[in-house]
């Protein structure tokens, strides 16, 4: 009987190399899959390594364009940000990679997929929920969740020893005291010294963004054009250099944003499986796009549409973070959010400088902004006496409440006791 075929999401690193070997020892035939989503990686070297360890095949798929157009651009269009700070660079890559993985599994007749994500993290969830949604019959081997594997490999030392014993080449350069995940949208850093949330991330950690202290001493400005909520053109204002392809736009903004140290965050976040973790992220281009999109969106959308959309956006950010990109709820939220953007069209000028990015001007033929209406210098068609009725009718509930229950409690005292403050409500 032929051996069962496993498709392994392979990174070229120590963990997945050991997993590859371990799967082979378990008598599986193993095919390796590498998705190029823009990470710096010597794919050819990794392929050689996997073949040397014993993979029957190594499939390398260039998914950069798919990642940008089908995941990052929609995320910008939807305005996704997790817990107000994280732009979801890893969360978005996972379903993208999983599509490539499952297409390859189908092609090679693998009924099992395997990955090197740990049992404590979000990525296992994202890989597997995506996989199960695409193919409910797929089977998953997650060695870091198997007792036998975890017992065998209690830490990095065990992996190194196993690699040595099995002639698995190990990078000569010492490992940084943190782990990272990179793609064209961002690099994330976590674990190691970062597990102490009070430990300030060292400056040499950042690879996509320059230390703001060392960045250019004059700000840079770019003009970003949106249509249907998507960025469709970016021009550097000083040079006029212009990009229109999504991948080119993102690459350019990563470069110019990276120069200015834009897009770093250092946060503690809530993982889906219920624990808090600390992550440091840099996503220069995505941060610039997010900032510009937000500006254009509020400029164009009706106030109440924006509020409905915002609620869906926050839900969608949770869905994506939690690995539910392929789910009925995400499909529904996405179709609504996409629909909300039909009038988000125009240009925003953003300025980048020393770690900061800020929208400073915008224009749109679709905006509900009406200069004549809001002008303080022109009465225009606006009849200011109408506001009196508006205010008095709006005040009716308040007057009734005061009439019934007395004057509101405008002296909520903030009292200091034992060196803290308390609100003292009535």
Active site residue 15: yes
Stretch that binds a second copy, among 35-43, 167-175, 248-256, 337-345 (CB under 8 A): 337-345
CA distance 422 to 426: 12
Q: Which of residues 53-92 bind a second copy (CB under 8 A)?
A: 69-70, 73-74, 77, 83-85
Strands (E), 228-300: 230-236, 242-243, 264-270, 276-282
Nearer of residues 7 and 81 to a second copy, judged by Cβ:
81
Nearer of residues 169 and 212 to a second copy, judged by Cβ:
212
**Can you say whether the dihedral through the CA atoms of 292, 294, 299, 301 is positive or negative?**
positive
Q: What's the token pair of residue 421?
A: 């403050």
Residues with Cβ within 8 Å of 76's Cβ and at least 6 positions away in sequence, in order, are 229, 230, 231, 286, 289, 290, 293
Q: Which of residues 241-260 bind a second copy (CB under 8 A)?
A: none
Query: CB 422 → a second copy: shortest distance, Å?
Result: 6
Q: Which of residues 175-234 bind a second copy (CB under 8 A)?
A: 179, 190-192, 195-201, 212-213, 217-219, 227-228, 230, 232
Query: CB 169 → a second copy: shortest distance, Å?
Result: 23
Q: Are 264 and 211 in contact (CB under 8 A)?
A: no
Active site residue 238: no
Active site residue 266: no
Q: How far is CA 142 from CA 8, 154, 156, 373, in A?
A: 10, 16, 18, 61
Which of 234, 261, 226, 273 has its CA nearest to residue 250? 234
Query: Running DSSP on this structure, what letter comes out for residue 15?
Result: H
Q: Are 229 and 348 in contact (CB under 8 A)?
A: no
Q: Are 353 and 294 in contact (CB under 8 A)?
A: no
Neighbours of 143 (CB within 10 A): 24
Neighbours of 288 (CB within 10 A): 30
CA distance 413 to 108: 69
**Can you say whether the dihedral through the CA atoms of 211, 213, 214, 218 is positive or negative?**
positive
Q: How many residues bind a second copy (CB under 8 A)?
A: 163
- Active-site pick, 91, 123, 126, 181: 123
Q: Look at residue 420 and give its three-state secondary structure.
A: strand
- Active-site pick, 94, 126, 334, 362: 94
Q: Which of residues 289-308 bind a second copy (CB under 8 A)?
A: 294-295, 298-299, 301-308
Q: Residues 16-35 vs a second copy: string with x where CB under 8 A?
A: --------------------
Nearer of residues 104 and 340 to a second copy, judged by Cβ:
340
Our finding on whether 335 is near a second copy (CB under 8 A) is yes
Q: Residues 348-387 vs a second copy: string with x where CB under 8 A?
A: -x---xxxx-xxxxxx--xxxxxx-xxxxx-x--xxxxxx
Q: Residues 310-329 vs a second copy: string with x where CB under 8 A?
A: xxx-xx--x-----x-xxxx
Instruction: Work out which of 99, 110, 182, 205 binds a second copy, going by CB under 8 A.
Output: 99
Query: CB 170 → a second copy: shortest distance, Å?
Result: 18
Q: Are 81 and 88 in contact (CB under 8 A)?
A: yes
Our finding on whether 44 is near a second copy (CB under 8 A) is no
Query: CB 320 → a second copy: shortest distance, Å?
Result: 13
Q: How far is CA 413 from CA 284, 408, 410, in A?
A: 43, 13, 9
Our finding on whether 240 is near a second copy (CB under 8 A) is no
CA distance 143 to 116: 7
- Active-site pick, 36, 62, 145, 179: 179
Our finding on whether 391 is near a second copy (CB under 8 A) is yes
Q: Which of residues 104-163 bind a second copy (CB under 8 A)?
A: 118-121, 124-125, 128-129, 132-136, 142, 144-147, 150, 154-156
Q: What's the token pair of residue 21?
A: 């070997």
Active site residue 94: yes
Nearer of residues 26 and 57 to a second copy, judged by Cβ:
26
Residues with catalytic roles: 15, 94, 123, 179
């Amino acid at each position: 009987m032929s051996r069962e075929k496993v498709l392994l999401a392979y990174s070229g690193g120590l963990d997945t190399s050991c997993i590859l070997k371990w799967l082979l020892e378990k008598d599986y035939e193993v095919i390796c899959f590498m998705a190029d989503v823009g990470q710096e990686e010597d794919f050819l070297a990794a392929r050689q390594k996997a073949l040397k360890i014993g993979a029957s095949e190594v499939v390398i798929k260039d998914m950069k364009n798919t990642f940008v157009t089908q995941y990052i651009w929609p995320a910008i269009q939807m305005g996704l940000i997790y817990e107000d700070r994280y732009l979801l660079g890893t969360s978005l890559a996972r379903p993208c990679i999983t599509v490539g993985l499952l297409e390859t599994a189908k092609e090679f007749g693998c009924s099992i997929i395997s990955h090197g994500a740990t049992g404590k993290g979000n990525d296992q969830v994202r890989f597997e929920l995506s996989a199960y949604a695409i193919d409910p019959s797929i089977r998953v081997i997650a060695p870091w969740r198997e007792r036998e594997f975890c017992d065998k490999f209690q830490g990095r030392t065990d992996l190194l020893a196993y690699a040595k014993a099995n002639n698995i080449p190990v990078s000569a350069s010492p490992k940084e005291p943190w782990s990272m995940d990179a793609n064209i949208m961002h690099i994330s850093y976590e674990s190691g010294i970062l597990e102490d949330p009070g430990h300030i991330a060292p400056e040499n950690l950042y690879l996509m963004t320059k230390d703001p202290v060392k960045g250019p001493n004059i700000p840079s400005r770019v003009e970003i054009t949106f249509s249907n909520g998507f960025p469709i053109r970016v021009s550097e204002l000083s040079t006029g250099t212009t990009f229109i392809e999504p991948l080119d736009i993102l690459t350019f903004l990563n470069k110019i944003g990276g120069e200015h140290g834009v897009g770093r965050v250092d946060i503690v976040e809530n993982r889906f499986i219920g624990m808090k973790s600390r992550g440091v992220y840099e996503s220069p281009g995505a941060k610039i796009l997010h900032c510009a999109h937000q500006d254009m969106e509020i400029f164009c959308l009706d106030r109440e549409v924006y509020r409905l959309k915002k609620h869906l956006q926050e839900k969608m950010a949770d869905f994506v973070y939690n690995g539910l990109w392929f789910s009925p709820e995400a499909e529904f939220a996405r179709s609504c959010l996409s629909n909300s953007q039909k009038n988000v069209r125009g240009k925003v000028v953003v300025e980048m400088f020393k770690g900061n990015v800020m929208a400073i001007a915008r224009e749109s033929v679709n905006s509900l902004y009406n200069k004549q209406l809001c002008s303080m210098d022109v009465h225009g068609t606006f009849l200011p006496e109408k506001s009196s009725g508006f205010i008095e009718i709006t005040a009716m509930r308040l007057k009734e409440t005061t009439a019934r229950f007395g004057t509101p409690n405008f002296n909520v005292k903030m009292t200091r006791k034992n060196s803290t403050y308390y609100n003292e409500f009535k």
